[in-house]
Amino acid sequence: MAASDFLPHLKTPPTYHRIISPTLQIPTDPTTSIPVGLLACQRAPLLSPTYPNLSIAHLAKPKPKPPTESFLEVLLHDTILFPESGSQPSDIGLITTPDGETWEVVQVKGIGGHAVHFVKPNPGLRNIKTALNSFRAGGTVLVTFGEEGFKRRFDHMCMNTSQHLLSDILETQLSLPTLYQYLETFPEPSSIEIPRPLTPSEITFIQDLANRLVLEGRSVHVEVEESRSGNGPGVQIIKVGEGSVGMNVTEDNTGGVKRVVVIDGVGRRPCYGTHLLTLHNLQLFILPTSVTVSRGPSAMSTRIFFLSGPRLLTCLTTSHPLLTSTASILSCGLPLLLERAGQVVEEHRKVQKRKRELEHEFVALIAGSLVSEISMRREGEEGLVVMRRHRIDDNAPHPSHFLQPISHSFISSVFHLKPPPKYLVVLSSTTAILVFGSDEGAVKSAREGLWERLGAKGEWQGIRWSGGFGGVWAEEREGMVVEEVIEEVRRTWKIEESQEIDDDCTGLYV
């Protein structure tokens, strides 16, 4: 059975919504719109469905930027869908018009003190203005949450009431006012901002007290009166260090009404959001982590995070399987998970350290073999000494990172050889290629040959070129191409050097 199927059985007691002013009345004229603060969603937060009269309907496009799709901006006599206010996002829901067509409400906003519904036109309408025929002033429409809309509303109610409970206890027990409140999107934890961090013992105390009040099932009610100078909406300023912060409530979100939410025997706070009728089954969990917030050069505050209602259940149902699976992977029980995880991290650190040491040894070994080879070959060969090394490492995330240290080690070693050798070295690891040498022309020729024959691309910086081959490397195929390229470079360089020697000799006999 869907959660929203229980809604008809959830009755709001007559003592929940209390108009404490003798002059304040809820408008009954169906041609007018009830202001925010007195809406059905605020008088009876679990009421569903309702049949409000349609006051106005007109075409609108949300600001500030015109979107690709337009919306109908619908104003009703009354509504069970809460308009966005303060930290609470708006409800979503459905409107069924007299012609039997159902329309999706994607957002409700307080504009001018009234709840305006942003209705998405149904697909297939050739012209959005055609939809206006379904929303004629004076008609009666059916407003419902829908399954997703109810889940969203119930979650917001749980988090709102929990936030009030937490803020009231912090203020009465620890003299810590709430500076800001944040209702994050489901299933993230919500948070409040207070002047200082809580100690572990304070967290335990506040959490135990809150859940004891939940066990008692303290009732919740709302007191409403006209907004007047001194008691109306505005900015509540709270000092923090040398700075100050404020919780703003605008006329758009109040409709000229002052609304106070009261938790029996706990506290009372101004609020225009939706709340539960009691604290029954509203277990509260304060996360032990907190975040420090800077509000100026010397003004610091702390955000503490909490879970309640569906978010708490979601956290438990998702985190427990993760913990048990992790414990299974690490071959230990849940009580030993933290200790075992610490051991794994420490072992991984040691393995990474040893891996780096072996890489340094391997680099020195390869570079040393290249230096020995060039020392032997230049005694028996004239011209450019060409050397190549290739290795396969499919598991390396960045194969080129291993080739660079080899080139640095080699260059620093041959720098001390006298006379300086003439060389070209080609290193490759999987599909990464590094070419470097003593002659810029030879490196350039190798780069051009690899680009023409393999399609290898990369960066060229004088006597160094690094790049890659975009494919699957096969030594008997790509490797042979590299051998042919560097052999051609060696022959070409030898011919050019011979010509330079001949030119020099010719000059001696002129």
Given 270, 305, 322, the domain boundary residue is 322
Are residues 157 and 296 both part of a single domain? Answer: yes
Q: Identify any residues that bridge with 73 across adjacent strands, giving them in sequence order.
A: 58, 118
Model pLDDT, residue 69: 62
CA 139 to chain centre: 43
Model pLDDT, residue 299: 78
The domain that holds 125 is classified in CATH as: 2.40.30.130
The domain that holds 189 is classified in CATH as: 3.30.980.10
Residue 65 lies in a domain: yes
The domain that holds 391 is classified in CATH as: 3.10.310.40
The residues near 70 (Cβ < 8 Å, ≥ 6 apart) are 59, 60, 61, 121, 128
Q: Give DSSP secondary structure letters for 57-117.
A: EEEE--SSS--SS-EEEEEES--SSPPBBTTBPPP-EEEE-TTS-EEEEEEEEEETTEEEE
SS3 419: coil
The structural domain count of the chain equals: 3
182-207 per-position pLDDT tens digit: 999 999 999 999 999 999 999 999 99
Rounded to two decimals, the pTM is: 0.70
Residue 174 lies in a domain: yes
Are residues 317 and 391 both part of a single domain? Answer: no
Are residues 142 and 180 both part of a single domain? Answer: no
Residue 333 lies in a domain: no
Burial label for 237, CB within 10 Å (0-12, 13-18, 19+), is exposed
Please tell me the distance from the alpha carbon of residue 301 to that of residue 293, in angstroms, as a whole number: 5
Judged by phi (left if over 0) then psi (alpha if -120 to 50, else beta), residue 174 lies in: alpha
∠ Cα 476 478 484 (to 5°): 90
Question: Which two tokens mark 7?
Answer: 């809604």
Q: List the pLDDT tens digit at each of the 510 positions of the chain.
A: 454 444 444 678 889 999 999 899 888 888 888 888 899 999 988 776 777 776 666 555 444 444 446 788 899 999 999 998 777 899 999 999 888 889 999 999 988 888 999 998 877 665 666 777 888 888 888 999 999 999 999 999 999 999 999 999 999 999 999 999 999 999 999 999 999 999 999 999 999 999 999 999 999 999 999 887 554 544 343 443 433 333 445 555 556 889 999 999 999 999 999 999 999 989 889 988 889 888 777 778 999 999 999 999 999 999 999 999 999 999 999 899 999 999 999 999 999 999 889 989 988 898 888 888 888 876 555 678 888 888 877 666 676 777 888 888 888 888 878 788 888 898 888 788 889 988 888 888 888 888 888 888 878 777 888 888 777 777 888 888 888 888 888 887 765 554 544 444 333 333
Are residues 134 and 157 both part of a single domain? Answer: no
Question: Which two tokens mark 59?
Answer: 């075409």
Please tell me the distance from the alpha carbon of residue 385 to that of residue 54, in angstroms, as a whole number: 90
Model pLDDT, residue 496: 55
Residue 98 lies in a domain: yes
Are residues 57 and 89 both part of a single domain? Answer: yes
Residue 330 lies in a domain: no
Are residues 185 and 45 both part of a single domain? Answer: no
The residues near 412 (Cβ < 8 Å, ≥ 6 apart) are none
How many other CB atoms sit within 10 Å of the CB of residue 398? 10
The packing angle between helices 400-414 and 337-380, to 10°, is 40
Are residues 137 and 157 both part of a single domain? Answer: no
The residues near 79 (Cβ < 8 Å, ≥ 6 apart) are 39, 40, 41, 50, 52, 108, 115, 117, 143
Residue 415 lies in a domain: yes
Please tell me the distance from the alpha carbon of residue 268 to that of residue 20, in angstroms, as a whole number: 15
Are residues 104 and 163 both part of a single domain? Answer: no
Given 322, 340, 369, the domain boundary residue is 322
The packing angle between helices 146-174 and 309-329, to 10°, is 90
Domain holding 427, by residue range, is: 382-509
SS3 377: helix
State the maximum Cα–Cα separation within the chain, in Å, rounded to a whole number: 123
Are residues 419 and 483 both part of a single domain? Answer: yes
Residue 135 lies in a domain: yes
Burial label for 318, CB within 10 Å (0-12, 13-18, 19+), is exposed
Are residues 140 and 196 both part of a single domain? Answer: no
Given 322, 342, 363, the domain boundary residue is 322
Amino acid at 303: R
Are residues 143 and 77 both part of a single domain? Answer: yes
Are residues 126 and 205 both part of a single domain? Answer: no
CA 186 to chain centre: 13
Contact 108, 83 (CB under 8 A): yes
| Percent of the chain whose pLDDT exceeds 90 | 38
The residues near 303 (Cβ < 8 Å, ≥ 6 apart) are 182, 191, 192, 193, 290, 291, 292, 293
The packing angle between helices 440-454 and 480-509, to 10°, is 150
Residue 409 lies in a domain: yes
Contact 165, 24 (CB under 8 A): no
Please tell me the distance from the alpha carbon of residue 403 to that of residue 426, in angstroms, as a whole number: 10
